[in-house]
Structure 1
Amino acid sequence: MNEDIYKKISETLSAGNSVVLCTVIASTGSAPRHAGTKMLIFENGERMGTVGGGEIEGLVINEAMTSLKTNKTKVLKYSMVDPLRGDPGTCGGTVEILVEPVKPSPRVIIIGGGHVGKALAQLAKYLGFKVAVSDDRVEFCNHEANPYADEFFAVPMKELPDVTDITSSTYLLLTTRGSETDIAGLGSLLKTPAAFIGVIGSRRRWETTRKGLLEQGVSVEDLDRVHSPLGLELNAETPEEIAVSIMAEVIMVRNNGTGISMKA
């Protein structure tokens, strides 16, 4: 069974998706499963294997879904003695379960291959991200123009979800030409489960883009997913400085950071 579990983890990561591995790491007394028992929880809530069924399993599944969002590993401890005090069972044993989110290497798709996009690709690559560049201008979307990218998608923004999988480990960074481009294509990206969607530009530009998308019927809830203006406030000016500002926000969101100075 464990061989099947590990094979499924590999398949899930290869597809660019995340999964949570739940492992019984200790049990005493009369417990439903012994140490080493494993269960997988997928992003859609489906599962493979079991850590005991019943109320305990329901609690573990809920914790697993939370861990996907927080990217934090935790150890759950349950005593199954007295339901009146909140124990999830009466068999008399105890169990400890390690809940561990397993995620593929993060991937950024930079939409807009100009000066900022090129600097962003270089920095993202250095930081360990898989890097893709998309631009409807073929001259900006090739290895000669952007040697740091691993993939290229020379298509209009609205067609991007049709040519590549955008998963919960994908970070979409729009370094585009202006609101007109964003209004034409951003709606399709908001239908994807991307971990992060950011749009470069001023507050006024985003207000214009937001208004145009609302007129198209895009919901406020979807628009609230967007990080714009994109990046942390560094008073950045050069493409390289702007890239640092953008990736700083991506790392902050990915690691649940605050962006606050650590100086006391």
Structure 2
Amino acid sequence: MIGLYEELIKMKDSGEPAMMVTVVEMTGNTPVAVGKKMLVGESGTAFGTVGGGALELFAKNKCTDLIKDRVSMTEKYVLSEGKIVEGAESLPMACGGTVKLFYEYIGVRGHIYIFGAGHVGQALIKVLKTMNFYVTVIDAREDMLAHVLEADRKVHMSYADFIDKEGLREQSYVVVCTPSHKHDYNVVNKVLELNLTPKYMGMLCSEVKLRSFMKKTFERFGDDIDLSYFYSPIGLDTGGDSPAEIAISISSEILAISYHKKGHCHMRKDAIIDQNRMK
């Protein structure tokens, strides 16, 4: 059991979400006792046991689906194929008893990539870490990364090269706030070039910069490119312009996207994006 929790700590430190499956109830003949646990990581690697056989295989596959949805639940099983027990799912086993498993999601709210460790990036990291996000900050400037203390992971690398090397986690959040327009453009276009689909990608910029950026983007990728997850200028319209205030604006927008909330006043300029599509 100690080894199982050690593996859980490793997963947590690396930002890998997991499910902890616990036997919470049993009746009749079963291959496992109450309290037995199995840990299943996002990669499918499992530690511990909840009885083996069809029950454990079913539970492991169930974990894969639940990790994607980031939800916990309890489910009851009857260990006899074809046997009907109210509120229980039948599994192809010969034991005949019933088992109830509790699936507990253990992980971060989401993964956020921050490209640029400048004043806004540093302020944003501090806010996001209070809300259980796993934050990776990427910057080509080693001296700027030295000022970052709260991030879960710091990467000293060229911005677009990082995406080439590692890609992005599915349903992740991306904040682009590099020190130059060129690097911003390279990051966003690398995401489009590789057909990556983050849940959210926001770019810190002015409306003038956005017009120029969108013109070049549509010239390169065509007017059918999907930008539904792209928000620029980034953040909700709160009126503040200090790094701390901008960080609050960006984190609020990320939360709104995370909770599927609509009706907020985003800084995003759909009119600028749409008018630059090629006709």
Aligned-pair identity (%): 24
1:18 match: 17
* Paired position in structure 2 for 1:244: 248
- Greater mean deviation of Cα atoms: 64-73 or 155-164: 155-164
Quick one: distance in 2 between partners of 1:47 and 1:10? 14
Q: 1:60 to 1:236 in 2, by over 3 A?
A: farther
Q: Does 1:3 align with 2:6?
A: no
TM-score, normalised by the number of residues in structure 1: 0.69
Report if the CA contact (8 A) 1:158-1:185 is conserved. yes
One-letter code aligned to 1:27: M
Partner of 1:111: 115
Structure (1 or 2) with the larger CA radius of gyration: 2
Q: 1:54 to 1:179 in 2, by over 3 A?
A: farther
Q: CA RMSD in A?
A: 4.3
Matches of 1:15 and 1:251, distance apart in 2: 22
8 and 138 in structure 1: CA distance in 2 versus 1, 3 angstrom threshold: closer
Matched, 1:228 2:242: no
1:40–1:47 contact (8 Å) kept in structure 2:
yes
**TM-score normalised by structure 2 residue count:** 0.66
Residue 275 of structure 2 is matched in structure 1 by none
- 2:62 corresponding residue in structure 1: 63
Counterpart of 1:31 in 2: which secondary structure? Answer: coil
Q: How does 1:61-140 map to 2 (within 5 A)?
A: 61-81=60-80, 83=82, 87-89=90-92, 90-103=94-107, 108-127=112-131, 129=133, 133-137=137-141, 140=144
Cα displacement (A) at 1:238 = 2.1
Tell me, in whole angstroms, the C-alpha distance in 2 between the residues paired with 1:247 and 1:12.
25
Q: Distance in 2 between matches of 1:74 and 1:61?
A: 14
Taking the aligned partners of 1:110 and 1:134, their CA distance within structure 2 comes to: 6
- Residue 11 of structure 1 aligns to a residue in which SS? helix
State the alpha-carbon separation in 2 of the partners of residues 68 and 113 from structure 1.
Answer: 30
- Contact 1:110–1:133 (CA<8 Å) still a contact in 2? yes
Measured in 1, the distance between the counterparts of 2:3 and 2:122 equals 41
Cα displacement string for residues 50-98 of structure 1 (whole angstroms, at most 9, x for unaligned residues): 3234443343223212221222211111123452656113532111111
Q: Which runs of 5+ in 1 are unaligned?
A: none
Give me the whole-angstrom Cα distance separating, in 1, the residues matched to 2:116 and 2:151. 12
Between stretches 54-63 and 199-208, larger displacement belongs to 199-208
Q: Quick check: 1:198–1:230 contact (8 Å CA) kept in 2?
A: no
Q: Note the C-alpha offset of 1:39.
A: 1.5
TM superposition shift of 1:4: 2.0
Partner residue in 2 for 1:257 = 259
TM superposition shift of 1:16: 2.9
CA contact (8 A) 1:31 1:94 kept: yes
- Residues 1:150 and 1:64: Cα distance change in structure 2 (over 3 Å): closer
- Take 1:61 and 1:150, find their aligned partners in 2: how far apart are those partners? 28
- Distance in 2, matches of 1:189 and 1:23, equals 39
Residues 139 and 58 of structure 1: CA distance in aligned 2, closer, same or farther (over 3 Å)? closer
* CA deviations over 1:146-200 (Å, ceiling 9, x no partner): 6766765453202336999976797532123666424434566687x99755231
Decide whether aligned partners of structure 1 residues 97 and 116 sit closer, same or farther in structure 2, where only a CA change above 3 A counts. same
Query: Which one is further off, 57-66 or 133-142?
Result: 133-142
